[in-house]
Amino acid sequence: MTAPTPDIVTRYLDAADSRDSAACAACFTETGTVVDEGKTYRGREEIFDWREATLSRFTYTTTVTGSEAVSDSEYRVKVLVEGDFPGGIARLTFDFTLEDGLIAHLSIVE
């Protein structure tokens, strides 16, 4: 099922696609967190560093394949990622928790 996503989620996904780590980090609250590949990144500085590290390791494209509102503040986005990482294709789920118009938490899982 595909549902409209909040502006901040769209802004994050667009910034990630354009490889703009600063814009990605700016989508988060001051104390926002990201969990990716079993690691947790806290605050905008660590989130910026995480995006930069990811960009330096791999080249990839993303395609949103679906989205749904889980609650008033939680959104799930399904993403197909293709690139030069091991396996070359990944189907990921981005679980966003929003707070005051920004992302408070993002969990990325397969």
Dihedral angle over CA of 57, 83, 38, 40, nearest 10: 60
Q: What is the pLDDT of residues 28-70, one digit of tens each?
A: 999 999 999 999 999 999 999 999 998 898 888 999 999 999 9
The DSSP call for residue 2 is: B
pLDDT of 102: 98
pLDDT band at 3; cut points 50, 70, 90 = low
Q: Is the per-residue pLDDT at 1 higher than 80?
A: no
Give the sign of the dihedral formed by CA 49, CA 20, CA 86, CA 89: positive
Model pTM greater than 0.95?
A: no
Cα 80 to Cα 99: distance, rounded to the nearest angstrom = 26
Burial of 4 (0-12, 13-18, 19+ CB in 10 A): exposed
End-to-end alpha-carbon separation of the chain, Å?
A: 18
